[in-house]
Amino acid sequence: MAAEIFFWASVMLAVYVYAGYPLLLAGLCALARRPVDKQPCTPSVSLLICAHNEEAVIREKIQNSLALDYPEDRIEIVIASDGSADRTVEIARQWEGGRVRLLAYPKNRGKIATMNDSVTELKGEIVVFSDATAMLAPDAIREIVANFHDPKIGAVSGVYQVRRAEQSAMGGSEKLYWRYETAMRLQESALDSVLGGHGQLYAIRKSLYPFPHPRTINDDYVVPVRIVSLGYRAVCEPKAVCWEEAAEMAGFGRRVRIMAGNVGQLRELPRLLARPLPLFFFFSHKLGRLLVPFAMLIALAASAVLWAQPVYRLAFLAQLILYLLAASGALIPLRPKLLRLPYYFTMINVATFLGIYHALSGGRRMAWK
């Protein structure tokens, strides 16, 4: 009896987190939405690009930023180099003096420390954060700042796309995952507030910047959530598009870093107690994702214990096939590409265990890739 309870509770948790919750959001959005008073406006903007050893992309990033469709006298582009040991600073200096400013910090201290020091140097009313590897659509800044016409809006996230998915073995899976993730974020935004933004492109009112602790990993979550805790909304703007090459997103270590940051996000829970819907989003979206890997292990063990019963024998074999496909996908590029999804799904859940370890042990600095 106990094994059966553990099995079905684990399966129901995983199904709710990845399927039930998105369906519930869709139903709630059909019943009630909170519109944003979005209007064209041109507040002063500071585009802050924190960089550490980004010589391969910093030139393209600056050129992309200079090509943005926003009044030139209303935007500054600030490159904040966090102790880069390559040619990042040298390349950025080629544009210094016009709309581009360079803050060259000599010591590598981590992204948050760089952000905290740089924000105080910015001139814009709105701060837009963007990664060096992320390229912005020409109208991305116009679309994102139009939301700040609404005084209730404190933070706005753009939407994230994967380009040239074929460049990476997992590019197609990443692309599919981010489409799924973006759909949920848009629904959360429509109901109340999205929990976190895309580090590749999100914006805040400078006056609300919370100066997170330097050891914070996921700034794009902590900063918007703290703004939400002040009574403002954090929304997602579907027309503010940025993209990254699939090759930039590869790596198990990237997933471990994200999951370590997700564990750190649990500290933000008390700040949401007065906001029922964001609190519900937190439990269903953030906490649920951290619990699913444990649920998967429990379901596997419980179905093994219940092997004598046909339904659980079938469940055990189905899980075994999933993990065999995942192991195969780690070694060879399976075809059709649909067969690569088990590897990607298993990989992000395995990364959770290492992320939890690093978050709790504090034994590894994970500020930059």
* Whether 197 contacts 182, CB under 8 Å: no
Q: 146: phi > 0 → left, psi -120 to 50 → alpha, else beta; which?
A: alpha
Q: Above 60 in pLDDT, residue 77? A: yes
Across the range 147-176, mean pLDDT stands at 83
For β-strands 45-51 and 75-82, DSSP reports them as parallel
Res 336 pLDDT > 90: no
At 202, the pLDDT band (50, 70, 90 cuts) reads very high
Asked whether the whole model's pTM tops 0.75, one would answer yes
Q: Does domain 45-250 fall into CATH 3.90.550.10?
A: yes
Which of 47-61, 250-264, 327-341 shows the lowest mean pLDDT across its residues?
250-264
**Residue range(s) of every CATH 3.90.550.10 domain in the chain:** 45-250
Q: How far apart, in whole angstroms, are the C-alpha atoms of residue 55 and residue 44? A: 28
Q: Are 36 and 147 in contact (CB under 8 A)?
A: yes
- In this predicted structure, which of 12-16, 108-112, 165-169, 305-309 has the lowest mean pLDDT? 165-169
Mean pLDDT over 121-140 rounds to: 97
What's the mean pLDDT when you consider all of the chain?
A: 91
102 backbone dihedrals φ, ψ, rounded to 5°: -120, 125
Return the minimum-mean-pLDDT range out of 111-120, 163-172, 204-213, 297-306.
Answer: 163-172
What mean pLDDT comes out for the span 336-351? 85
Round the CA-based radius of gyration of the chain to a whole number and report it.
22
Tell me: pLDDT of 367 over 70: no
Which band of pLDDT confidence, cut at 50, 70 and 90, is reported for residue 246?
low
Higher pLDDT, 173 or 214: 214
**For position 363, what pLDDT does the model report?**
47
Q: Which residues pair with 82 in a beta bridge?
A: 105
- Angle of helix 288-305 relative to helix 252-264, nearest 10 degrees? 110
